[in-house]
Structure 1
């Protein structure tokens, strides 16, 4: 091959060290939160005790429906984020920012009783693949959620970081829905 026939590799610009440093604390917090939840869930002696809510047939159905609510709100989050980032064209969408923020808040609030029940009553379980994946996704969800919230409040964060962490939060919550509520609905039917 002659020198004239060689191709030049594309030049990749290095990340600004200050920009990359803005992600260190959120990523460390994510690792800490996920790890702490996993360790607590594994070391804590599960009580098997759960609180039921009036109108539901069991504590499990409460968890299933709250997880479903969180997942539906996460879909709202995904849609509104895609519109805000210009991936889905929508006119006169100034109201979407508020819908995005509130759907996220409500999804997180709906997930808290589910997580508390899982940690307190069941612990970090690994007796089959679905349950292990669910336990890991639960820890990952709260870790990435913590990182995403920290990234929202930081200045100088790379433009790709928020969509990345938002996508990770959505993916984790989707996996949690599939390994819990959807699994329940497909094996036990839709119950209240």
Structure 2
């Protein structure tokens, strides 16, 4: 066996171990958020932001901003991986991808804090139960992806899968909250 092949196998083993460790830490994060949401006594109030009719409206709009930024994340990732016809992505695309991700998470944090603090983890009906589960899962996957982004030696499909799962879960959380809010209350501030 050549030295290069042996080095590649060791690197791949370390990469696989890094994935496993990141997934375990992400799963523990999701479980901890769910446990906090379930154990914590909901306060049933939130801070209202000027110009919005309610804390729920603020949540719906911030979640919508996060989803729009996540859509840009998806398109920019496809461009960077050359999955969109037209050749190479523009030079600015990488930085825009990183910043749109940061802004998406930043928009989602007040939503998560409101959900966990004001409402807690709930299972009053299937929509609320799945929203609670997927909300916790979103941050578990986010932690997993952030850990993986700092590791070398990962298989080429690991980051795209983590990003795709993150996108899917965010959209599902949005569908079970913001879209539901807009359908029941109308598109209002």
TM-score of the two chains, using structure 1 as the length reference: 0.90
CA distance in 1, matches of 2:40, 2:52: 27
Superposition CA RMSD, Å: 1.3
8 A contact 2:22–2:144 mirrored in 1: yes
Aligned counterpart, 2:9: none
Aligned counterpart, 1:47: 43
Answering whether residue 99 of structure 2 is matched by residue 102 of structure 1, we say yes
Answering whether residue 120 of structure 2 is matched by residue 123 of structure 1, we say yes
Q: Does the residue aligned with 1:23 lie in a helix, a strand or coil?
A: helix
Aligned counterpart, 1:12: none
TM-score of the two chains, using structure 2 as the length reference: 0.91
CA deviations on 1:41-62 (whole Å, 9 max, x unpaired) are 0000001120000010111100
Q: Give structure 2 stretches of 5+ with no counterpart.
A: 1-11
Aligned counterpart, 1:86: 82
Q: Give structure 1 stretches of 5+ with no counterpart.
A: 1-15
8 A contact 2:49–2:55 mirrored in 1: yes
CA distance in 2, matches of 1:170, 1:129: 21
CA distance in 1, matches of 2:13, 2:151: 15
Aligned counterpart, 1:61: 57
8 A contact 2:15–2:152 mirrored in 1: no
The 1:188/1:97 distance shift into structure 2, 3 A limit, reads same
Runs of 4+ in 1 over 6 A off after TM superposition: none
Greater helix share, structure number? 2
CA distance in 1, matches of 2:131, 2:22: 23
Answering whether residue 131 of structure 2 is matched by residue 134 of structure 1, we say yes
CA distance in 2, matches of 1:49, 1:185: 20
Aligned counterpart, 1:10: none
Q: CA deviation at 1:109?
A: 0.2
CA distance in 1, matches of 2:48, 2:89: 43
CA distance in 2, matches of 1:160, 1:43: 37
Q: CA deviation at 1:92?
A: 5.7
Return the match for 2:156 from 156, 159, 170: 159
8 A contact 2:15–2:151 mirrored in 1: no
CA deviations on 1:120-140 (whole Å, 9 max, x unpaired) are 000001010000010001010
Q: Does the residue aligned with 2:128 lie in a helix, a strand or coil?
A: helix
Return the match for 1:188 from 168, 185, 189: 185
